[in-house]
Amino acid sequence: MTKEQFITLLISQAVIWLPMLLGNRLRHMGRISEQVAKPLYTVNLVLIAPVVFGLGVWRLDRSSSDWYVAPLLMAAFLLVSVAISLVVSPRLSHRGPSIGTFLLMIPLGNIGQSMAGFLTLLLLPAAAYPYNAVLMCPTMLFIFAICVPLATHWGGAAQGLTLWRNYRQVIFSPIAMPAVGLLIGGVLNFAGLPTSDLSFGALKVLVFISTVSSTFAMGIRMRFQRVVHFSHVLTPVHVIKFLIHPLIMLALCLIFHVSGMVAGVLFIASCMPCAIMVVVLSTIYDLDIDLANAGFIWSTLIFMVVVLPLMILALRLPLFQVM
């Protein structure tokens, strides 16, 4: 590992670990309540994510086909992942709520404005971030078209309710707010309105704030004594998320001749740990919330300790180099 790569690794580890450890320590000291985590996540969804995604899509360069090829490959990746989860999840548990959580946990990764966005800004050229933002378009569609029906089917809270009422519940919740930002950013982009360097500076600051606040909130809620016994049952999930998923995305990039920073954005997205959205949906639909928390915590820890250093090295491959 070169000196530059090592410094990059230290920065990424510090930005994610230090707020997490601080939040956990403050809760143990009684200085902060576990209930603080929820409003932090809500602020990220309602205030920060729409602005970041809106600015990102607004700055998207549509001079080449990459602007629509990238989200199409992400959509194909998600469909393959959910097909894998439909096969694997019933074999990991016989309880309906746990099956539902596994079905969400495998395809949904922590992409967007927090971890994937921060790492995209840290590891790739500045022009790469808009492609990270536009990946949220198929992801949001995937959440509404696939995740909500799956959660409705396996969850206890949705029993007796129509699918439309469950859709309405999500549409009028903070989960839908990032889609508003994507829509506004897309309208501004297609209208041809120019952006400024100041807006990109604001985007970077907001991504940093989002990453720090999310990991801080995660540290507040982290209780290893509740999740430690899930480590073995989650092993197949980690193999899928950190080995099979990146290989699928590499194959898609090679098949469709996608390279450079766009391939790098897609590769980073494919390596992401379990999304906080899994915890949110598991809570709303009475799925296995302990399993969701365990998947979120364990996959993030494994990503930081094992996957991230390897990912930084892999991004030096010729496939990801900007010509």
> Rounded to 5 degrees, what angle do the CA atoms 240, 244, 246 make?
115
When the pLDDT of each residue in the chain is averaged and rounded to a whole number, the result is: 88
- Give residue-wise pLDDT tens across range 199-253: 889 999 999 998 898 888 888 877 767 777 887 889 999 999 999 999 999 999 9
Domain annotation covers residue 272:
yes
Q: How far apart are CA 102 and CA 96, in angstroms?
A: 10
pLDDT at residue 53 above 60? yes
Domain annotation covers residue 246:
yes
CB 140 within 8 A of CB 296: no
CB 219 within 8 A of CB 24: yes
SS3 of the chain: helix, strand, coil, percent, to 5: 80, 0, 20
CB 277 within 8 A of CB 144: no
CB 135 within 8 A of CB 73: no
Q: What is the pLDDT of residue 58?
A: 95
- Per the structure, the count of domains in the chain is 1
Q: How far apart are CA 253 and CA 45, in angstroms?
A: 30
Domain annotation covers residue 245:
yes
Q: Rounded mean pLDDT of 159-177?
A: 70
Residue 109 in 3-state DSSP? Answer: strand
Q: How far apart are CA 179 and CA 170, in angstroms?
A: 12
Domain annotation covers residue 100:
yes
Q: What is the pLDDT of residue 176?
A: 83
CB within 8 Å of 306: residues ≥ 6 apart: 242
DSSP-assigned beta bridge partners for residue 109: 274
Confidence grade of residue 71 (pLDDT, cut at 50, 70, 90): very high
Q: Which two tokens stand for residue 228?
A: 């430690």
Confidence grade of residue 163 (pLDDT, cut at 50, 70, 90): low
How far, in Å, are 162, 255, 317 from residue 323 at the CA level? 51, 19, 12
- Cβ burial, residue 152 (10 Å; 0-12/13-18/19+): buried
Q: Which two tokens stand for residue 265?
A: 């954005």
pLDDT at residue 8 above 60? yes
Instruction: Give the residue from 37, 18, 10, 14 showing the smallest Cα distance to 223.
Output: 37
Domain annotation covers residue 86:
yes
Domain annotation covers residue 321:
no
Q: How far apart are CA 118 and CA 302, in angstroms?
A: 18
Domain span at 43: 3-316
pLDDT at residue 277 above 80? yes
Residue 64 in 3-state DSSP? Answer: coil
pLDDT at residue 161 above 60? no
Between 9 and 81, the more confident residue is 81
Diameter over CA atoms, the chain: 58
Q: How far apart are CA 270 and CA 268, in angstroms?
A: 5
Domain annotation covers residue 322:
no
CATH number at residue 66: 1.20.1530.20
Residues 275/38/306/4 CA torsion (nearest 10 deg): 100
